[in-house]
Amino acid sequence: MKRLPVLMICALLAGLPLSGAQESGKAKAGWNFGVLPALSYNSDLGLQYGICADIYDYGDVFPGYRHKFYTELSHYTQGLTNLHLLYDSSYLIPEVRTTAAVSWLMNPMYTFYGLNGSAQVYDPSLNLNRQTGTAYYNYSRSMLRCLLDAQGEIYSGLRWAAGAAFWSFAIGNPSNRHYDPSNTLYADYCAAGLIRGDEASGGKRAEFKIGLVFDTRDHDAAPSRGINADIFLNASPDLFGDGYKYLQFCAHYRQYLDLIPARSGRMVLAWHLAYQDCLEGEAPFYMLPIITTPYLRQIISEGLGSMNTVRGNLYNRFIGDGYAWGNLELRIRLTDFTFLNQGWYIGFNPFFDMGLITRPHRPGTMAAWLGTGMEEVVSAARRLHKSAGAGLKIVMNENFIVSWELAKAFDHDNPGWGLSIGSNYIF
């Protein structure tokens, strides 16, 4: 693990940023191509290797861009393979920001620590162990995700937002021959009825969202000032005849305060508050970890815990029908430099996260299975979880961000530290 930062630096040095833009590290115009190894690490997924490419048409709006394409093909050593394509532009349709993404993620050892967070006791001795054939907290999952999102201005800073999504899941016991497929929490949940027969093998879903976005940020990738808030409804009708339909309420508030205006962007206080809840109906269990946003910021946008919500916690540790969480960061821009005709800077960001399940999933069924009262399940599920840590950022051309983050959870549900080496700020 100690060698990973060195490996990441090597990946950056091996990258081949090819530019059709101006030969300047301070300003870009026209097309800019960045091809890099997709080399990263996450405590829950393992070491990632593959290739990724960022393609920008900066036009004359740098540090903004007219068109952005991103593609990635990679594999994690703990099993996950992903193929991801993304397009983002505010110029394809005049005055409308259009974001489209297609992702295929296949994980024969997808982690599943149960429903309702602390209501499901976590036993580290049951973690993935090839010598004993134990994979109690794993199942096999394949996910195809297609997203199309649009935003248009109502008046300065306020936009309407709408989107559609298609999901297809295939789920089953761990498909690795080295592990016992019957000794899993997933199998126990299926037997207990916490995972029902009509959702146990996966399914298809369509979602449609509509809402409002308020955005006064000075920059998308690493803003130094402004507010980015959104509020919307996400509806999933029963289009595929599986009997599930639901309506979710989702809200996010992000604010960025420049603490040293005379040296803009050198020290920024940033915070994020989020809430997602199921107002009506019920989602199948495989949709519960999905964190809904106006547009996709990270390839993996799932679960309360781990690298995108409450850092330092186990991946998908806290799953329920509703979530609330918050993140607080101090973002410090340490130094700027030019390398390979590109503009770079190094940043440092100490942070504090917290989150909880606001609405447990099937607490009565879980209480019956555990042999306890439903109020105990609800109380345990709603426990507040906290973590803290710090990150290091290397940023190219104000948009391409390589991130190291180390976090420690403050409760017994998540012993140890969580390390993530990837891309972007989490908000």
pLDDT in tens, 160-191: 999 999 999 999 988 777 888 889 999 999 99
- Our CA angle for 419, 100, 87, nearest 5°, is 75
228-253 pLDDT, tens digit each: 999 999 999 999 999 999 999 999 99
- Local confidence band at 8 (pLDDT 50, 70, 90 cut-offs): very low
What is the structure's pLDDT at 180?
87
Q: How far is residue 90's CA from residue 86's CA, in Å, rounded to a whole number? A: 14
pLDDT (0 to 100) of residue 43: 86
With b for 16 or more beta-carbon neighbours within 10 A and e for fewer, the 269-294 pattern comes to ebbbbbbbbbeeebbbbbbbbbbbbb
**Cα dihedral 361/362/367/370 (nearest 10):** -70
| pLDDT one-digit tens code per residue, 192-225 | 999 999 999 999 999 999 999 999 999 888 999 9
Residues 6+ apart with CB under 8 A from 64: 58, 219, 220
Question: Taking 90 as the threshold, does the pLDDT of residue 328 lie above it?
Answer: yes
How confident is residue 22, by pLDDT bands cut at 50, 70 and 90? very low
Q: Above 70 in pLDDT, residue 9?
A: no
pLDDT of amino acid 7? 43
- Tell me the average pLDDT across 305-312: 87
CATH T-level fold of 84-423: Porin (2.40.160)
Q: Which amino acid is at 302?
A: E
Domain boundaries, the chain: 84-423
pLDDT at 300 over 70: yes
Of 387, 385, 394, 383, the residue nearest 421 (C-alpha): 394
Torsion of CA 214, 217, 219, 224, to 10 degrees: -150
Q: If pLDDT is split at 50, 70 and 90, which confidence band does 361 have?
A: very high
**Per-residue pLDDT band at 424 (split at 50, 70, 90):** confident
> Is residue 95's pLDDT more than 60?
yes
* Mean pLDDT score of the chain: 89
**pLDDT for res 26:** 54
Looking at residue 327, what is its pLDDT? 98
Strand-pair category, 417-423 with 81-93: unpaired
pLDDT at 18 over 70: no
**The pTM is what?**
0.86
What residue has token string 């891309």?
A: 423
Q: Is the pLDDT of residue 344 over 70?
A: yes
